[in-house]
């Protein structure tokens, strides 16, 4: 049901065409978050949406090798860890938790804060995208009512 | 849990919803008008005599973080501890779904 790929050629080709566009736009939303509405959560959700679109259209067998559920779970942990690591890095340079102004990315303190924000947004986006992908995979794998377990 | 017949339970639930809605509507009536410049949220100085955080953020975000989008600065710099909590919540949700729904590797026959 959920795992079977769509056999419709139009659906498959359209999904394959649209997904990279969504991902590029997601990266734009993520990295342009300093200057326009956007940021980590929004970019991450869009990346997850593109992956789920591919899973729906092409099926799990074709898209699991790209990003498996295990990789997605680890990616979610890594994203949260990036956030934590940037926050804890400020300890190393005598700041408080998440005080990016103390981390020596550059000479100017406001630029240091800007870089810290960017790193954190990347961590948030990774955590969001991977967490949503993993949740989708787990929900799709959940033993449904009356659904026979088919080995894939 | 008290078992009640459907005939009593549903009107009772509707009555509860109605009471809550009435209380909320009265609370909305007591809110300041939308965009009212004298509302507490838009005051420049708090009753304690300090500059309110919102005013401070909007005035200093660009200078302090070199980022024109002050929403991003507020979210990821001034209130980054809160954002860290949000990210943790997302991750916790992922872990909970994994623990509840993911199939174990050695597949048992059927555990009820």
Look at residue B45 and give its three-state secondary structure: strand
Is residue A42, in this structure, part of any structural domain at all?
Answer: yes
pLDDT for A80 beyond 80 = yes
Among B69, B80, B94, select the one facing A33 at the smallest CB separation.
B69
Within-domain flag for A149: no
pLDDT digits (tens, 9 = 90+) for A25-56: 999 999 999 999 988 999 999 999 999 999 99
Question: Does A84 contact B84 at a Cβ distance shorter than 8 Å?
Answer: yes
pLDDT over threshold 60, residue A99: yes
Whether A124 is in a domain gets the answer yes
Q: Please state, in angstroms and rounded to a whole number, the distance separating the CA atoms of residues B85 and B82.
A: 5
The distance of B22 to chain A (nearest Cα, Å) reads 35
Q: Is residue A93 part of a domain?
A: yes
Domain for residue A107, yes or no? yes
CA distance B49 to chain A (A): 26
Beta bridge partners of B51: B45
A120 phi, psi to nearest 5 deg: -65, -40
> Is pLDDT at A148 greater than 70 in this prediction?
no
pLDDT at A1: 46
In degrees and rounded to multiples of 5, residue A105 shows phi and psi of -75, -40
Based on the structure, what is the number of domains in chain A?
1
Q: Which domain holds residue A73?
A: 9-141
Other CB atoms within 10 Å distance of the CB of residue B101: 15
The minimum CA-CA distance between A10 and chain B, rounded to whole Å, is: 32
CA distance B15 to B9: 10
Query: Tokens 């872990």 map to which residue?
Result: B95
Contacts of A100 in chain B (CB under 8 A): 77
Residues of chain B with C-beta less than 8 angstroms from the C-beta of A121: 72, 76
pLDDT in tens, B59-79: 998 998 888 999 999 999 999
**Contact present, B60 and B73 (Cβ < 8 Å):** no
Interface residues from chain A to B (CB-CB < 8 Å): 33-37, 39-41, 69, 73, 76-77, 79-80, 83-84, 87, 97-98, 100, 108-111, 113-114, 116-117, 120-121, 123-124, 127-128, 130-132, 134-135, 138-139, 141-143
Q: Does A1 map to a domain?
A: no
**Chain B residues within 8 Å of chain A (Cβ atoms):** 63-69, 71-73, 75-77, 80-81, 83-84, 86-88, 90-91, 93-95, 97-98, 100-103
Q: Closest residue of B to A77, CA-based?
A: B91
**Domain for residue A87, yes or no?**
yes
Mean pLDDT, chain A, integer: 87
- pTM given for the model: 0.79
User: In angstroms, how far is CA A143 from the centroid of its own chain?
Assistant: 26
DSSP reduced 3-state for B3: coil
Instruction: Note whether residue A99 is domain-resident.
Output: yes
Residue A6: pLDDT band with limits 50, 70, 90 = confident
Q: Where are the alpha helices (DSSP H) in A59-108?
A: 60-63, 69-92
Alpha-carbon span A114 to A122, nearest angstrom: 13
The 10 Å CB-count burial string (b at 16+, else e) for B25-47 is eeeeeeeeeeeeeeeeeeeeeee
CB A83 within 8 A of CB A124: yes
Q: Where are the domains of chain B?
A: 1-31, 39-103
- Average pLDDT on A115-121 reads 93
């Amino acid at each position: 049901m959920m795992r079977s790929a769509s056999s419709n050629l139009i659906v498959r080709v359209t999904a394959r065409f649209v997904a990279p566009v969504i991902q590029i736009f997601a990266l734009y939303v993520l990295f342009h978050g300093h200057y326009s509405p956007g940021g980590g959560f929004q970019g991450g959700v869009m990346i997850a949406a593109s992956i789920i679109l591919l899973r729906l259209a092409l099926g799990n067998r074709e898209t699991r090798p790209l990003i498996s559920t295990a990789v997605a779970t680890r990616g979610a942990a890594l994203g949260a860890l990036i956030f934590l690591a940037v926050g804890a890095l400020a300890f190393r340079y005598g700041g408080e938790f998440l005080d990016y102004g103390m981390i020596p990315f550059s000479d100017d303190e406001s630029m240091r804060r800007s870089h810290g924000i960017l790193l954190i947004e990347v961590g948030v986006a990774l955590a969001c995208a991977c967490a949503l992908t993993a949740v989708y995979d787990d929900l799709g794998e959940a033993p449904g009512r009356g659904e026979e377990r088919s080995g894939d | 849990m008290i078992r009640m017949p459907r005939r009593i339970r549903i009107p009772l639930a509707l009555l509860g919803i109605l009471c809550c809605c009435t209380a909320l509507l009265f609370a909305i009536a007591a809110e300041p008008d939308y965009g009212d410049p004298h509302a507490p949220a838009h005051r420049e100085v708090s009753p304690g005599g300090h500059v309110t955080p919102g005013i401070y953020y909007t005035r200093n975000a660009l200078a302090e973080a070199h980022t024109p989008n002050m929403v991003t600065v507020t979210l990821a710099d001034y209130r980054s501890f809160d954002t860290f909590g949000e990210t943790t919540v997302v991750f916790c949700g992922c872990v909970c779904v994994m623990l509840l729904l993911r199939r174990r590797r050695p597949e048992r026959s059927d555990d009820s």
